[in-house]
Structure 1
């Protein structure tokens, strides 16, 4: 496993610690928001706006990272902002302040994502992208197992005392900030003569990007329009009568499967093809959403969230590995940042639309609509997007 370099380990540990902090809060977030007066529709808007903020930041700072040839400063700043957002949530329950805290958290994610993924790509070869991104996702998602477990333990002794939990989540975030100081930049070619770049300059990349990139990203964005926040899945389980403990327990189980499966599925994707694993993941997504639309007990949701963990493992890291293998190395952060920018804007629409569909027609209609759109995206990718080759060229692929 020599392909797991020092930089890959550091980035993976940073993601592990940050996800411990974030995931201590994520499964209790909808419960907390409802307890302070947020409606289901307002929760959807909150999550959507937060994701849109992250998305626009990803595009701009990904482009800026390529433009100035630096990665580490963006990684440090991004993780610092995300850590600071945790105690902010505990200061007051005023809605505008809650929106601000969530926006700071997502802005931090936006600042770091493109640069971090470019660092991971630079440490890998085209033939090892799947396993490198898969290993990072495994470590990242391990934090999503430990974080909710810590939250569950805390809530066992202090039920419904959510605000102290937000303060406790600050500490693993501080450790993550400390680890970012160990990162060192490699020499990167600059894509411009000035450190200035406009906020929306990343949008121009779409017209100059490879055709295969545009085809793939178009399909992924349609999928994202139906892939709303997991908050809705947690709320559906609560709606069916599961306790806070059972809901968080199922979520921990999902993340455990996600963490365990990401690395081996990344290795398998390098061996049999990124496209095959990715499409299989989307099919699992459609099955899960159709299944959750039906009522069931904890065992039913446990089975579905097992499949949901496999879906996440088969798509999250794989999509970025795929993109990095079909775009120029000097544009890696821009390519991933542009995709994730559009993705987050679509997520904003997805969360808002899902919340509205849920409010107007009920949970079943919202979830079945999501499943149907996901299945259509599978057909589109199978027909129009060729499987990626194991290379990364610096020539424009058109």
Structure 2
């Protein structure tokens, strides 16, 4: 199932062997995420500009809506993990989440220009993401040897990010072909999301765990915090999430500072996704070697540098490209690395529940962060908001580097 690496192999053969060393179930989940992310990013790429410029939301209003999008349904991550562990049906629960998000793409058609309706649809869409994330990551973790989790999550996130890379391009193509009809983007997004659900049903295998369904009380999930290393991991991840600026604000800051045109705005996420795509697998492998927590914190250091470029005195277009690259490096060093680090700390029968608990803390923290950034931006403008976020992120990152949550065995 796993092939040894030989130094005499050509680069193409080494690349092929890298993918074959990853379990088939991880690759299948990666393909599902690729297709689903094309669908999601078609909408995400146009949404900030549509809300702020099209509907005229101020930064605080947008921050509230972005916060809702990021974390208001975070509690459903707990429900998804809890139900998946109780039913012992990780694939089925993940499929419910994927299906719910697919249906919501059509809900955006009915929402029209109503901010309240759009907020409700986005909340349901994020509920679907919240339900599916923990069971999916638990499937990856349980399908992979512990020593190779960084690589497995890196490969999955690379495929996922390839979808995020393609999504804005597909959205731009649909807008061009439909003469600027946003409804066409929503319909196209729905059709692609349905393909993702179908691929999940056909390609992904559940992780068999013998025995009948077990009653895992919700308080049992909180009992996982009695594991000292896991508790510290959750605490620091939430604190870092509280001082991490959301993607939409990064792109809006870039658009404002460098006066990016409306036509080019949906392509900004491609800069982040492209770097993420290139670095996800190499950084996942590096995390397995040098320590996943170290790399996780290094990723936040990359975000600090990106924010400094966004609010610095120099206004060169090259710096905008570098900032997007650093933003992508932040995700490559954190998005898959954190569950890879936390998974081995948890018992197998509560793996989905534990990862859901970790992700919920992050999501709620980022929801608060979005509201705070929007508030500071509204009261004191963009530059003070970015400077305050950067300073807070730097302090928390340095503190997390000094106080190690646990010693990783490699």
Same fold at TM > 0.5: yes
Which residues in structure 2 correspond to 1:249-268 (within 5 Å)? 249-268=267-286
For the residues of structure 1 that align with 2:239 and 2:210, how far apart are their CA atoms? 33
Deviation of the 1:170 alpha carbon: 1.1
Say whether residues 1:56 and 2:75 are aligned partners: yes
1:280 is matched with which residue: 295, 298, 301?
298
How far 1:121 moved relative to its partner? 0.2
Aligned to 1:356: 375
Q: 1:36-185, aligned counterparts within 5 Å?
A: 36-91=55-110, 92-158=112-178, 160-182=180-202, 183-185=204-206
**Which residue of structure 2 aligns with residue 237 of structure 1?**
254
Assess if the C-alpha contact under 8 Å between 1:205 and 1:338 holds in 2. no
The one-character-per-residue Cα deviations of 1:308-364 (angstroms, maximum 9, x if unpaired) are: 111110111001100012222222111110011111111111111110011011111
Match of 2:363 in 1: 344
The aligned residue for residue 393 of structure 1 is none
Structure-1 separation of matches of 2:80 and 2:272: 31
Q: Which moved more, 1:81-90 or 1:120-129?
A: 81-90
* Displacement of 1:47: 1.8
**Is the contact made by 2:251 and 2:268 (CA closer than 8 Å) also made in structure 1?**
no
Say which SS state the counterpart of residue 85 (structure 1) adopts: helix
Matches of 1:30 and 1:249, distance apart in 2: 12
Point out where structure 2 has 5 or more consecutive residues left out of the alignment. Answer: 1-17
Distance 2:267 2:186 in 1: 19
Mean alpha-carbon deviation: is it higher for 105-114 or for 224-233? 224-233
**Conserved 8 A contact 2:90-2:139:** yes
* The one of 387, 398, 402 aligned to 1:368: 387
**Quick check: 2:174–2:184 contact (8 Å CA) kept in 1?**
no
Task: Show CA shifts across 1:272-300 (max 9, x none).
Answer: 22123222211111111121123634322
Paired residue for 2:335, among 306, 316, 331?
316
Q: Give yes or no for contact 1:205–1:335 (8 Å, CA) kept in 2.
A: no
User: How has the CA–CA distance of structure 1 residues 71 and 213 changed in structure 2, closer, same or farther, with 3 Å as cutoff?
Assistant: same
Cα distance, 1:162 vs structure 2: 2.1
Q: TM-score if structure 1 supplies the norm length?
A: 0.91
> For the aligned residues, what is the CA RMSD?
2.0
Which residue of 2 is the match for residue 5 of structure 1? Answer: 23
Q: CA deviation at 1:251?
A: 2.0
> How far apart, CA to CA, are the structure 1 residues paired with 2:321 and 2:265?
10
Aligned counterpart, 1:394: none
Q: Is the contact between residue 293 and residue 364 of structure 1 (CA under 8 Å) also seen in structure 2? A: yes
Match of 1:395 in 2: none
Q: What TM-score does the superposition give when structure 2 sets the normalisation length?
A: 0.89
Q: Is the CA contact (8 Å cut-off) linking 1:54 and 1:108 kept in structure 2? A: no
Is contact 1:27-1:148 (8 Å) kept?
yes
Distance in 1 between residues matched to 2:290 and 2:266, nearest whole Å: 35
- Preserved contact between residue 246 and residue 298 of structure 1 (Cα < 8 Å): no
